[in-house]
């Protein structure tokens, strides 16, 4: 899976009966189903039941059990409410009779109102000045730890360019933040807003817990820490296009009780705030 067309195919579910949809999985380097995939597929299912032109503005989800890559996922959509301005859908994802994930999403009719937004972080290096994951692998492959190298070798429909590159051999704590530029691969065809939001949601589960890990980099890394997404929330503010690089600016206000919390804002290159994200994830030190 290395183009946006592959990703759209993955996120486009088969409707098996009324309000029931089925999807398959593709690995991103983990032995379990990628959380971003389940989030985006659940939103695809929810959006397919919206017939009044309303637009997704928020979603809140919990990951209950790890998903198996080889087993189809069934998404059951409940029509919770269709009010005068908002429509709410609840999605339950199941594998072999087990509930592995739940999501609530809200859709709002288009309205005019007051508007403001925060500014994009200042003095961020531009993507043209940075190396992508692919370029890092090509230039430094032999020096990259084997676990990280295996992760980077997976084909992806998105290219990432981190602004701050963590050296795994420098055992020092870093600021609890990270900034990553991203761009989808392949020919970009016209997409409706719902599809763009689903792709953005898929991408939002990448990199976010890295901000929490950075603060403990002197002793914690992906090889000695058990990590998993526990919950994920996202708010969608403005329409956008994928025709240029976008910035995911992430910070982690807290880690405690073997959990890390991080929040992020997604901007276009021009600084338009497109969406905000919040996630808490498991950060459990692996005991020898």
Q: Mean pLDDT over residues 116-123, rounded?
A: 95
Give the Cβ contact number of residue 67 at 10 Å. 21
Residue ranges of E strands in 83-215: 86-95, 98-108, 158-162, 177-184
Terminal C-alpha separation, the chain: 36
Q: Residue 251 pLDDT > 90, yes or no?
A: yes
279 is catalytic: yes
Centroid of chain to Cα 114: 28
Q: Is 194 helix (H, G, I), strand (E, B) or coil?
A: helix
Q: How confident is the model at residue 117 (pLDDT cuts 50, 70, 90)?
A: very high
Q: Mean pLDDT over residues 162-189, rounded?
A: 88
3-state helix, strand, coil in the chain (%, to 5): 20, 40, 40
Q: Which residue has the higher pLDDT, 263 or 141?
A: 263
pTM: 0.93
Q: Which residue has the higher pLDDT, 204 or 151?
A: 204
Catalytic residue among 37, 41, 106, 279: 279
Which structure tokens are listed for 147?
């676990």
Catalytic residue among 229, 233, 239, 256: 229
205 is catalytic: yes
87 is catalytic: no
Query: Most confidently modeled of 53-67, 160-174, 212-226?
Result: 53-67
Q: Mean pLDDT over residues 40-55, rounded?
A: 96
Give the Cβ contact number of residue 139 at 10 Å. 11
pLDDT, tens digit, for every residue of 77-111?
999 999 999 999 999 999 999 999 999 999 999 99
Q: How confident is the model at residue 225 (pLDDT cuts 50, 70, 90)?
A: confident
Sorted by where each begins, the domain ranges of the chain are 4-109+128-285
CATH among 2.60.120.10, 2.30.30.30, 3.30.460.10, 2.40.160.210 for 4-109+128-285: 2.40.160.210
Catalytic residue among 105, 106, 205, 276: 205
């Amino acid at each position: 899976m290395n183009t946006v067309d592959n990703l759209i195919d993955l996120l486009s579910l088969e409707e098996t009966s009324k309000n029931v949809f089925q999807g398959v999985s593709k690995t991103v380097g983990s032995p379990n189903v990628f959380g971003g995939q389940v989030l985006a597929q659940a939103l695809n299912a929810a959006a397919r039941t919206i017939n009044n032109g309303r637009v997704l503005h928020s979603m809140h989800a919990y990951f209950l059990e790890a998903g198996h890559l080889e087993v189809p996922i069934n998404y059951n959509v409940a029509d919770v409410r269709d009010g005068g301005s908002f429509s709410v859908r609840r999605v339950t994802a199941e594998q072999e009779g087990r509930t592995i994930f739940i999501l609530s999403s809200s859709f709002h009719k288009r309205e005019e109102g007051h508007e403001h937004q925060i500014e994009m972080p200042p003095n961020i290096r531009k993507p043209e000045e940075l190396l992508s994951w692919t370029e890092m692998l090509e230039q430094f492959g032999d020096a990259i730890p084997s676990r990280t190298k295996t992760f980077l070798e997976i084909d992806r429909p998105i290219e990432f360019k981190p602004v701050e590159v963590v050296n795994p051999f420098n055992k020092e704590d870093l600021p609890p933040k990270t900034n990553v530029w991203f761009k989808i691969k392949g020919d970009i065809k016209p997409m409706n807003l719902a599809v763009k939001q689903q792709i953005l949601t898929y991408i939002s589960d990448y990199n976010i817990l890295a901000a929490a890990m950075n603060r403990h980099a002197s002793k914690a890394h992906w090889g000695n820490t058990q990590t998993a997404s526990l919950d994920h929330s996202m708010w969608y503010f403005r329409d956008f296009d994928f025709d240029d690089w976008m910035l995911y600016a992430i910070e982690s206000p807290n880690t405690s009780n073997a959990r890390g919390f991080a929040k992020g804002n997604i901007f276009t290159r021009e600084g338009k705030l497109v969406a905000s994200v919040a996630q808490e994830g498991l950060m459990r030190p692996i005991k020898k």
